[in-house]
Amino acid sequence: MDYPKLRNVEAFPVNLNGQHLVCLRDPYNFSEKLLFLPLPAFFVVSLLDGQHSLLDIQEAFLRRYGEILFGENIEQLLRELEGNFLLEGPVFQQRKQQVEGEFRCSNLRLASHAGQSYPGDAGEIRKQLGSFFTDQRGPGLPGPATQEPPLRGLISPHIDLRSGGPCYAWGYRRMAEHRSTDLFVILGTGHSLSFPFALTRKDFESPLGVAETDQAFVDRLAESGGENLFAGEFVHRAEHTIEFQLLFLQYLFGGRDRFRIVPILCGSFHSFLDSSQSPGSDPAVGRFLGALAREVANYSGKVCVIASADLSHVGPRYGDLEPPSPRFLEEVEREDRRLLARAEQGDAEGFFDCTRQVQDRYRVCGVSAIYSMLKVLGEVRGRLLRYDRSAVDQENSTVSYASMAFD
């Protein structure tokens, strides 16, 4: 391992018991373990780009810290990284082939966050989901369903349920009090997706049962929606943004016989911020969203399109130098509400223009899912039900999110 290379993994600062560390996380979950590194060790990791030899790393470490870093210490760190499948090389390739093969051969997308972000037991998850409705920040339990038409769309958070659960509940209470829906098109944010969109035909499993994917709908969409629509399918395996919505749907509306889903991951639209081009004017994006809009409009039953989307991400964990001050968080909320006002009007282009005007300064990760939902729904009006935010670490790094219903 003369020129070791780290895989494309997430790295973010954490403070544990007063100690400043950097956490490494594999966004594809080839390794489910989080590695916490002291800053000197992370400095070494930052040089694992396939261009630095071990001698180069030792020289750089000496210049940075004024201390000699022995080769055996580097080797020990490399073994730990390799054992957790975080280094490029034969160990990782073997793991990758195994995991991708298992996913490819299965008809099910298994729950990836059960037992971590929420309980793995069905009774416990029902208890937790119910508590979000009755929480002091929640909307209360749903009343009886009315004869109001089903919701056409919903913006719902995808933050960890333990942080944002009551905000999810606002949208899902509104949904439960309307007439039933036959099909939920769930537009998840694909955080590690390198394609505009990713389809899958797999059914989705959770502790509450199996939700059936409408494969005929997916097949029609794949035929008319463009190329490479399954190229990013593997990202579905570990991405949580569809899984979290599914829990609420199963909790409120039952299992396989009550509804079907169409799970779609949306990649980043960040490349459009530096141009005057709208995402919808891009041939690949426009073709897919046009095809999806036609399928939704022509569907024989009732369809609801869900955008699983958080809003701003600020603070050291997300790249800012300092924790956000109260004044800055007020600024963030003003910008979030400006975005949400455009969404309420059903204005997809205005929504994206708001993001472009500030060059995504606040790192709104749900832009592609919300924009796509608005384009698919066409003329629609929304209503903001709840806006909230949560600190996610001791540095007060903060994520904002909202629930918005579209009738």
Can you tell me the distance from the alpha carbon of 268 to that of 197, in angstroms, rounded to the nearest whole number? 9
Nearest 5°: CA angle at 177, between 171 and 179?
A: 110
Tell me 77's DSSP state. Answer: H
Quick: pLDDT tens for 255-269: 545 899 999 999 999
Q: How far is CA 217 from the centre of its chain?
A: 23
Mean pLDDT of 150-175: 98
* Spatial separation of the C-alpha atoms in residues 66 and 64, rounded to whole Å: 6
In three state form, how does the secondary structure of 365-401 look? CCHHHHHHHHHHHCCCCEEEEEEEEEECCCCCCEEEE
How big is the CA angle at 133 (ends 139 and 373), to the nearest 5 degrees? 75
pLDDT digits (tens, 9 = 90+) for 24-78: 999 999 998 999 999 999 999 999 999 999 999 999 999 999 999 999 999 999 9
The answer, yes or no, to whether residue 1 has pLDDT greater than 70, is yes
Digit-coded pLDDT (tens) for 223-250: 999 999 999 999 999 999 999 999 999 9
Interval 332-337 mean pLDDT = 98
287: part of which helix (H) or strand (E)?
helix 283-298
- The residue ranges of every structural domain in the chain are 10-101, 108-406
Q: Which of 10, 5, 32 is nearest to 23 (CA)?
A: 10
In 119-265, where does DSSP find H-type helix?
122-134, 161-176, 215-224, 241-253
Quick one: average pLDDT of 19-26? 94
How far is 156 from 168, CA to CA, in rounded Å?
Answer: 6
d(CA 48, CA 81): 11
Place of tokens 């929606």: 225
DSSP letter, residue 182:
S
- Band of the pLDDT at 205, cuts 50, 70, 90? very high
Note the maximum CA span of the chain. Answer: 74
The whole-number pLDDT of residue 17 equals 83
Q: Which residue has the tokens 């097949």?
A: 219
Averaged pLDDT score across all residues of the chain: 96
Task: Answer yes or no: are the C-beta atoms of 28 and 235 closer than 8 Å.
Answer: yes
Which residue, chain included where needed, has tokens 């280094």?
87
pLDDT tens for each residue of 287-299: 999 999 999 999 9
* Of the candidates 231, 245, 225, 243, the residue with the CA atom closest to the CA atom of residue 376: 225
Q: What is the pLDDT of residues 78-128, one digit of tens each?
A: 999 999 999 999 999 999 999 999 999 999 999 999 999 999 999 999 999
Cα–Cα distances in angstroms (integers) from residue 362 to residues 148, 269, 331, 353, in the given order: 36, 15, 10, 14
Question: pLDDT band at 15, cuts 50/70/90?
Answer: confident
CATH class of 108-406: alpha beta
Q: What are phi and psi of 37, to 5 degrees?
A: -115, 135
Comparing CA positions, the residue from 81, 82, 114, 96 lying closest to residue 29 is: 96
Query: Residue 298: enclosing H or E segment and its boundaries?
Result: helix 283-298
